[in-house]
Amino acid sequence: MTQINLDELSHLQAINKKLVTGYHISEQDTVMWQELDQQIDYYRALFNALGHDLQHDSRGFYYFASDESTPNMGKISRAIALTIYILIEHYANSGKDPMRALFDEVNDLELMQTLVQMNKHLFDQLEIFSGSDLRKDVYLRMIRLGLAREVEGGFMLQAPIYRYIDALMEVNEETYIGEDE
């Protein structure tokens, strides 16, 4: 059994508070991320003993894996996934490298309004009717989950968005396999 010196985990309370709420700690959360990175074995052992599965994604973030899904979280996840999918499509249609633009472009209210207008039938199903709704219902939640950060003029997506991209790619792959059979 791993001996854990809690005195060495100086940011344990802050890290635990973030992770249990579904937040993804990424490199932009410098102090917490560095402590997790330097003390990963201790944190894994401690959180495992508490019933949590601490995951480290090599693309630069930590999170608790969870099999639990609430109906509300399902709606939030669907809205985030739809937004990411539509952003990728929007950037590709604009002639930009979608993966680069996803992380380099500021998502401002004008872009949000455009996305909602161009994909009204999809966003209507999630009760998102305007760019302001998208900001409030999706982007502000992405901040609370560590998926985005607010910058002057809008929002920037962060590395934990890769979890949604991976899921979208998995669904896409399953769709193609299903069509081949």
pLDDT at 167: 86
Per-residue confidence band for 16, with pLDDT thresholds at 50, 70 and 90: very high
Residue 100 has pLDDT above 70, yes or no: yes
What is the rounded distance in angstroms from the CA atom of residue 85 to the CA atom of residue 89?
A: 6
- Which residues does 111 contact at the CB level (< 8 Å), separation at least 6? 90, 105, 131, 154
Per-residue confidence band for 106, with pLDDT thresholds at 50, 70 and 90: very high
pLDDT digits (tens, 9 = 90+) for 114-139: 999 999 999 999 999 999 999 999 99
How much is the pTM?
0.88
Identify whether the C-beta of residue 63 lies closer than 8 Å to the C-beta of residue 57: yes
**Residue 108, SS3 per DSSP:** coil
